[in-house]
Every structure is written in C-alpha cells, then in structure tokens.
Amino acid sequence: MHEQACLTSFERERESMENMSLVLVITIALFFGHIGDSEGGDLRKDFYKSACPLAEEIVKDITWKHVASNSALPSKFLRMHFHDCFVRGCDGSVLLDSTANNKAEKAAVPNQSLSGFDVIDKIKEKLEETCPGIVSCADILALVARDSVSFQFKKSMWEVLTGRRDGRISRQSEALSNIPSPFFNFASLKQSFANKGLSLHDLVVLSGGHTIGVGHCNFFSNRLYNFSGKGDQDPSLNPTYASQLKAQCKTLSDNTTTVAMDPGSPLSFDSHYYMALNQNQGLFQSDAALLTNKESSKIVSKLLDQDGFFTEFGQSMKRMGAVQVLTGSNGEIRKKCNVIN
C-alpha cells in the first residue's frame, strides 16, 4: 500500500515535470515563432495549406494566364494592393463597390484609374468552387500583386504571408485622406508612410513600384507648365526629359493621356526607376522628393543594384502587406470580393 502511494506520488512528480517541459517547449516555440514572424504579425506562411491546399496555385495560374495576354496588369495589381493596405489596412476594402448610401474607396480619385477587378472576381469564383468560405479577398489581392509582378521572372519574387480577413467598411473619404498624393513633398511622404508604421527605407524601396506602369498627365503637368504659378517649369526636372513629356502632355489640363513612369522600361520590373530618378527623371514631385533628403538619396543610390532592390522590395512588401490586417475572428471571408456578406 505504502509502496503503491510512493509510486503514485513519484509518477505525479514526473508528470508535473513533463508538463513543465512541455510548457517550456511551447514557450520557446512561440518565442522563436514570433521572432520569425516579426514582419507579418499574425499572418502565416501557407495559411491555407490544410483548409485549401490548392489556393495559392489557383491564384497564380489564373493571374499568369491574364498577365500573359495583358502586360499592364502587374502595375494595376501592385498599386491596388498598396491602395488597399493604406486605407484601413490590407483588408480588401479597395475591392468593395459603392452602394446606394455609401461611396466606397473605389470612387476616390486615386482609385479611379485602378483596373483588373474582374480578374480578382474570377479568382474568387474559382476559389469559392474549390473551397467555399475559406480564402479572403485581402489575401487574394496580396497574392495577385506578387504573382502578377513575378510572371516576368517565372518564379515568386517575394514571400506573401496569408491569413488576412476581409473588412466590411470602405469609404471614399478615407482613401482620399490616406493615399499619398503625387504632389507631396518629402516630409509629407515620410509622414504618410510613418502613419502606417512604415519607415523612410520602406518609402524609398516601395516607390520603386514606379518601375512599372503609367501616370496621367494631370498628376505632373504643373511641373511642365506652371510650377510656381508663373508659367514655369520645375527646375529639378531634367530639361530634356521635360521636353519629351511636353510632347506627350500638350496642355496643363490634359487628364486623359498617360505616360510611362519609368521611361526606359515601363513593362519591366527592374531597378531602372532609381537610375531615372538619379538623372532627375522622376515623373511626380513625390518621386523627385526622394532626392531632396540626404538619407533618402543615399538609399536611392543603394537601390541601383538590382539584386539588392529585389531583396529589399520583397521585405518592404511583406511589411506593407501586414499593415493593420484583420486576423483570427475579426472581419469576414467575403463570398464575393466586391460586396460584403
């Protein structure tokens, strides 16, 4: 009897020690897991691995198919993801349509030149067929931005963590107040990024997104025709480049013509944007502003190195993609990306 009691108390002690080690192991795992995750917060790699194993492949396949026949799409999706993340975080709010009593983000001027929403809808449709109610629109957009840019390289250019959930609110006014303006100076740009927890380094790196795509004349024609209200040209703009731009944007009020933002290679994702910038060929005042600060222009020079740019861009995209995300039981998984459930 006594022997039995001793054995039991010994076993209990062993059990409690085992429990303690288990707690220790879990604590260590959580601690290191957290460090590994430091750029993505609650987001995870392969979030859909068990609930929808084909999700990322489906997104990539449909995206690549569309980019193959429309080379302008990568610029549209990259900008769409940026505009999503800067307004209420990366919650797919940019994808929602206006309703009878709500003007959505889509209605705001900076979002009026976005396109490609139909591709997002097609991907969502396929995912709802494959695994209904699982994959968020916010994650689809983050993946599509990466996959569309990656098409040129036929491999993934950066890692996208997943697990975002969809927001239920989208307001035109919030898009206007949160998306940085092309007329911003350095201090305003830095502040705009800081408001989202992003650094000066992120600002310079992510501005490299302007290596692809186009801009409408009215976002920079003041630099050509009326910089200080006296019919003058922006002295910080390369005069040869200014003449080329004037040949395309013929009047101050032209708001329909578009020009390539990276004159040498507008369809190619590369570090040429920084080369153009260093030659005073940044299209917007917000591009040129990156040369008006010592620290920032140093970063511009570093990013001339293409491999360095690609690495930095991936890391900054990861940080941008984690801005104010909804995870866990917050938000919802929309059934259709353009309307809330």
In order of 49, 122, 333, the CA distances from 127 in angstroms are 14, 9, 12
Of 48, 63, 73, 82, which lies in the binding site for ligand HEM, with binding defined by CB under 6 A?
A: 82
User: What is the closest distance, in whole angstroms, from the C-beta atom of residue 244 to ligand HEM in the complex?
Assistant: 17
Whether 310 contacts 269, CB under 8 Å: no
Q: Is residue 24 classed as helix, strand or coil in its secondary structure?
A: helix
Instruction: Pick the closest to residue 219 from 292, 113, 145, 117 (CA basis).
Output: 113
Under the binding rule (CB under 6 A), the answer on residue 204 touching ligand HEM is no
Whether 114 contacts 94, CB under 8 Å: yes
Indicate if the alpha-carbon torsion angle 274, 197, 182, 113 is positive or negative: positive
By C-beta, is 125 or 241 nearer to ligand HEM? 241
Query: How many of the other CB atoms lie within 10 Å of CB of 232?
Result: 13
Whether 174 contacts 87, CB under 8 Å: yes
How many residues contact ligand HEM, by CB under 6 A? 24
Instruction: Pick the closest to residue 43 from 325, 339, 337 (CA basis).
Output: 325
User: What is the closest distance, in whole angstroms, from the C-beta atom of residue 327 to ligand HEM in the complex?
Assistant: 22
User: What is the closest distance, in whole angstroms, from the C-beta atom of residue 52 to ligand HEM in the complex?
Assistant: 27
| Binding-residue pattern over the window 32 to 71 for ligand HEM, x denoting contact by CB under 6 A | ----------------------------------------
By C-beta, is 60 or 76 nearer to ligand HEM? 76
Of 180, 282, 321, 331, which lies in the binding site for ligand HEM, with binding defined by CB under 6 A?
A: 180
Of 44, 61, 71, 113, which lies in the binding site for ligand HEM, with binding defined by CB under 6 A?
A: 113
Region near ligand HEM per CB under 6 A, out of 3-11, 73-81, 133-141, 269-277: 73-81
Catalytic one of 83, 201, 210, 272? 83
User: What is the closest distance, in whole angstroms, from the C-beta atom of residue 184 to ligand HEM in the complex?
Assistant: 6
Q: Which two tokens stand for residue 2?
A: 């006594």
By C-beta, is 48 or 313 nearer to ligand HEM? 313
Annotate 45-99 with DSSP letters as a single string: TTTTTTT-TTHHHHHHHHHHHHHHH-TTHHHHHHHHHHHHHTTTSSSSGGGPPPB
| Binding-residue pattern over the window 205 to 224 for ligand HEM, x denoting contact by CB under 6 A | -xx-xx-xxxxx--x-----
- Mutual angle of helices 186-194 and 200-207, in 10-degree steps: 110
With CB atoms as reference, the residue minimizing the distance to ligand HEM is: 213
Under the binding rule (CB under 6 A), the answer on residue 79 touching ligand HEM is yes
Instruction: Pick the closest to residue 260 from 273, 243, 250 (CA basis).
Output: 273
Q: Quote the CA–CA distance of 104 and 208 in Å, as a whole number.
A: 28
By C-beta, is 12 or 298 nearer to ligand HEM? 298
By C-beta, is 84 or 91 nearer to ligand HEM? 84
User: What is the closest distance, in whole angstroms, from the C-beta atom of residue 289 to ligand HEM in the complex?
Assistant: 9
Q: Is 83 a catalytic residue?
A: yes
- The set of long-range contacts for 222-231, using a CB threshold of 8 Å and a minimum separation of 24, is 222/183, 222/252, 223/285, 224/249, 224/252, 225/251, 225/252, 226/252
Residues that are catalytic: 83
- State the residues that interact with ligand HEM by CB under 6 A: 75-76, 78-79, 82, 113, 180-182, 184, 189, 203, 206-207, 209-210, 212-216, 219, 284, 286
